[in-house]
Amino acid sequence: MDRPTAAGPREPYLVRVTAGGRAAGREATGRRLPIGAELTASGVHFRVWAPARRTVEVVADAGAVFALAPEPGGYFSGEAPGIGAGARYRFRLDGDALRPDPASRFQPEGPHGPSQVVDPSRFRWTDAGWTGLRLEGQVLYELHVGTFTREGTWSGAAAELSDLARVGITCVEVMPVAEFPGAFGWGYDGVDLFAPTRLYGAPDDMRAFVDRAHAVGIGVVLDVVYNHLGPDGNYLKDFSPAYFTDRYATDWGEPFDFDGEGSAPVRELVIENAGYWISEFHLDGLRLDATQVIFDRSQEHVVRALGRRARQAAGARSILLVAENEPQDADLVRPVDRGGHGLDALWNDDLHHAARVALTGRREAYYTDYLGSPQELVSVAKHGFLFQGQRYAWQDRVRGKPALDLPRPALVCYLENHDQVANSAGGERVSTLTTPGRWRAMTAYLLLGPWTPMLFQGEERGATRPFLYFADHRRELAHVVRAGRADFLRQFPSIAAPDLRDRLHDPADPVTFARSTLGRGDARPEVLALHRDLLELRRSDPVIRAQGAPGIDGSVLGEEALALRWFAPDGADRLLLLNLGADLVRPSIADPLLAPPEGRGWAVAWSSEHPRYGGRGSPPPFHPGGVRLAGHAAMLLAPEEPRRG
């Protein structure tokens, strides 16, 4: 395939549309996508699936009306001459209802307003040399554009990318941006899959963000939601009720119908959307939200199909496809030829839950099955998921599938993410719920571990601002959302306690949104130093960088203490000692993992208790009189240089 140019989208992505409405090849017509509004030499070509309608017309902002011709399979299409990029339009259905385009590329007045024609070739890319991302060695960073900076825009976020690169971040994972109603929201109730929300800027502002990220060496992965659409501004049923199904259910709304009779156009909408983000915005991958409720019994699951389409759209670039899956189904990241879906990575809630209990002592709701014990932390490092097919008491059912064969980088691990921070009474950061020493030590465990680590916005600078659940809905819907949120949090007895339950933040209150916004003054130098040094170790130390490929093992040393050992072919092993409890003082510890390579001793290569990070000093743990592991601390040890003579 030809290398992409700097001037436009990476893959031509041209399709020839058959009478049945399916994309049948790349050799004909000039349409980039099978649906939506696209520029031609003389105007704009429109195509939409509306099998529930007899007629569909384009009503342009200037008042001109263009009738679309029906096609077999429920599609309508045609060219409107004399209009161009920037034109606003709606579809008029059966001569009556005016509705935005289901494949709108931009909604400048929000989801209830007109759609706008976009010319993606106008943006001048500068990233022709960017080759994409491979999973090994990545450090992810989840951010919400609206709260990442005071500006809450793509340009505001772009200004921070150089700082993230200096910390050691290699890829930002952007929370969903598909258009949604109101002035603020998380983005998971998007209703226009192809339209980046007007709240953060124009589509070219998003392109500029990606271009800038590539310029400083950072990839961009977008969180996409294919399990439902939001409750306000979703007009797909006006074109056809067949977009959705009642054969399945989600907690958030009707799911798409991916496997019913005549569902090919529904599959097309989502599959082509995955390719669109990769091609037209030069994205480096997608994070698929809540894949456990993307229901599909087709011969080829839609997740597998959209993953294939995304990689096809990337052309010569490599991209990352990451899934969130509450049951932690390992088949998502197994190769297609082994019965999997061919994705690259899965979020690992098991590490988060075990670490959170270890740091806070709270075992309630979905933390009930976790002890926060050293054995759990060792097992995650050695085996990945903790639940791989055994009973999960909180849900009273089996959780997970065998996953011992998964490569360690295939699991994305974190101490914070948008959900887990917000699923608390006040959206507290985990650093505010434990001691500074424990938090530094667990941060070392996360950032040196063999998985793919992920930080949540502000974590690297020690931000203490909360991240709350916020959603700006119309009044009657806001009441339902507020009640639903309160009901969800009742699973936590501490939050449901009488002295707290009436103090929960209103998602629709602008103050809730404002409190979640980061500021430049949030940075704490000692926390930034901690993250920079750990990520430099992860990048530069050849043993840590290998992510456990030559072998990794671990031992429980005490009630809150453990050791992890990375093996190296040349004997240059690494040993991480983690103690979340009181000082551990022993005359000896009978465990071979603590023995240094033959003829050498252990030297402290890094310590969470260095004064640079706010610690109290780092005496060597092994001394002639025995062993002393400092409490609330982590140390990375490396073999001493061999003695000469």
For strands 171-174 and 219-224, give the pairing.
parallel
Phi, psi of 147 (to 5 degrees): -120, 0
CA dihedral 273, 303, 485, 500 (to 10 degrees): -120
Instruction: Answer for the pair 184, 136: CB distance below 8 angstroms, yes or no.
Output: no
Q: Where are the beta strands (DSSP E) in 404-495?
A: 411-413, 452-456
Per annotation, catalytic residue among 268, 289, 560, 573: 289
289 part of the active site = yes
Residues in the chain, overall count: 645
- Between CA 339 and CA 296 the distance in angstroms is 15
- 133/306 Cα distance (integer angstroms): 18
Q: CA 448 to CA 445: how far, in whole Å? A: 6
Selection from 272, 251, 547 nearest residue 413 by Cα: 547
Question: Residue 137: exposed, middle, or buried by beta-carbon count in 10 A (0-12, 13-18, 19+)?
Answer: middle
Q: How far apart are CA 87 and CA 268, in angstroms?
A: 25
Distance CA 302, CA 293 (A): 12
Other residues' Cβ atoms within 10 Å of the Cβ of residue 72 = 9
3-state class of 554 per DSSP?
A: strand
Tell me the one-letter amino acid at 558.
G
DSSP state at residue 4: P
Distant-in-sequence, close-in-space partners of 125: CB < 8 Å, separation ≥ 6: 5, 6, 7, 8, 207, 211, 282
Measured CA to CA, the distance from residue 332 to residue 336 in angstroms comes to 9
Torsion, CA 404, CA 409, CA 415, CA 418, rounded to 10:
-110
- Kind and range of the H or E run holding 487: helix 475-489
Residue 449 tokens read as 């571990």
- Among 77, 71, 13, smallest CA distance to 45 is for 77
Among 410, 413, 407, 409, residue whose Cα is nearest residue 454: 413
Which is it for strands 192-196 and 75-81: parallel, antiparallel or unpaired? Answer: unpaired
Q: Report whether 68 contacts 58 (CB < 8 A).
A: yes
At 599, list the tokens: 């003829």
Measured CA to CA, the distance from residue 506 to residue 482 in angstroms comes to 6
- DSSP at 185: B
In the residue annotation, 559 being an active-site residue is answered as no
Catalytic, out of 79, 127, 179, 324: 324
Instruction: State the catalytic residues.
Output: 289, 324
